[in-house]
Amino acid sequence: MKSLLTSIFLLVIGSVFGQDQWLPVDSINGAPRSVATSFVLGGEGYAIGGLDIGGFRRKMYSYNYLENDWDDEESIGGANGNGLNRGSASAFSIDEKGYVCLGQGLSNGFFKDLWEFDPVTDAWSQKANFMGTARRQAVAFAIDGFAYVGTGIDQNGFTKDFYKYDPTINTWTQLNDFGGTARKEAVGFSMGGQAYVGTGDDGILLNDFWEYTAATDQWIQLADFPGTPRKGAVGFGMFPQAFIATGEDNTFQFTNDVWEYNYFSNAWVQRSDFSGPGRSNAISFVLGDVAFVGSGYNGDFMDDMYAYRALLSTDELEKYADANVYPNPANEGVTINVETAELSVHLYSIDGKELTDAIQIQQTNNSFFIDRGVLPTGSYMIRLEHEMHGGVYQGKVLFL
């Protein structure tokens, strides 16, 4: 029966997502909660800790997309983890290990510890304490094998300092401060080799949006988030689109609107509303090309979960990109037949790094041929751009 239900779930999720809609999936195990945190390991999403009607928790659960099911996992700290219960923590994953740091508990308003979870041994181990002040409601993300943690609130107020963690040598390094104002309850995530931080609370609710480049340790301000200023929203990226959804806004409303940011055009567009009730302090994670959002608080604690597959923000321009990509999978190269010569083709790695200048592309009036060259086996993203309208098509190719 479970196999049949899983097949029905996958069939429905595929057909509904073509319409830019949200689909309810299996609720998180345990009591409804808010201010939990999450990371992704081994193609599964994890929900950790949080606050429920009975207090702060340290329990962890994992979600399997193909089975549409949550499983119980080892709590933070394992058998000796008493006192590590927390909410408003920060989390990230690197090299198939998950990490949780900072947060608050019942008797401790500000944590600064760091814990690593190894799914192979099913064990937690404590790592070097966070270098900055103890705090909660900070942002965290990972880029190229390093973690980045900053902002939040400590015993002295809002913060904007930022730090890098190297898991190979278990050390922290201080970086340039976040480019915006000191704040708590912002969104923070990585996408395409960069990271993004926006919205939050610095005494007033905010709608600014910033990009961080790790190679230069620099922040630049991007187009403002066009929704109402808010705190406790969720943010996630599926290159070349990023999303901000839900949160509590400056009209004291728990929101369920969804906004998409396009990496190439530095522009926002509104998408289909999150189909659950409005809320703040939910969790989000991305598995493949599907995003998941759930839990949170809107006067009640919640445990519901929803899945979303994004539309390209340029779907209105499909008439310019009736592309036929073949063979796919491919060995030596791939041909792209198009109906107009007003297009250029770009190739990206799956993490968003452009590879166009490193490959050979042959163009005719109605086709492109991408010579694989020395590209390793794996999936790549093809993007077609129109000279006036920008990006009009995105697809994947697998080189064997």
List pLDDT tens digits, range 194-234: 999 999 999 999 999 999 999 999 999 999 999 999 999 99
For residue 108, pLDDT over 90 is answered with: yes
SS3 assignment, position 33: strand
For residue 8, pLDDT over 90 is answered with: no
Q: What whole-number distance in Å separates Cα of residue 115 and Cα of residue 85?
A: 12
CA-CA-CA-CA torsion sign (173, 174, 178, 183): positive
Q: Tell me whether residue 393 is exposed, middle or buried, using C-beta atoms within 10 angstroms of its C-beta: 0 to 12, 13 to 18, 19 or more.
A: buried
Pick 113 or 336 by higher pLDDT: 113
Q: Which of 125-139, 259-273, 316-330 has the lowest mean pLDDT?
A: 316-330
Q: Which of 126, 210, 136 is nearest to 176 (CA)?
A: 210
What does the pLDDT read at residue 316? 41
Instruction: Using a cut of 0.85, tell me whether the model's pTM lies above it.
Output: no
Q: How many CB atoms within 10 Å of residue 136?
A: 23
Prior bond to 226 cis, omega within 30? no
Contact 57, 112 (CB under 8 A): no
Pick 136 or 373 by higher pLDDT: 136
pLDDT digits (tens, 9 = 90+) for 45-94: 999 999 999 999 999 999 999 899 999 999 999 988 999 999 999 999 99
Alpha helices in the chain (DSSP H): 2-17
Q: Average model confidence (pLDDT) for the chain?
A: 90
pLDDT digits (tens, 9 = 90+) for 284-310: 999 988 999 999 999 999 999 999 987
Q: How many residues are recorded in the chain?
A: 400
What does the pLDDT read at residue 322? 67
What does the pLDDT read at residue 358? 86
Percent of the chain with pLDDT over 70: 90
Q: What whole-number distance in Å separates Cα of residue 365 and Cα of residue 174?
A: 52
Q: What whole-number distance in Å separates Cα of residue 153 and Cα of residue 180?
A: 15
What does the pLDDT read at residue 147? 98
What does the pLDDT read at residue 5? 45
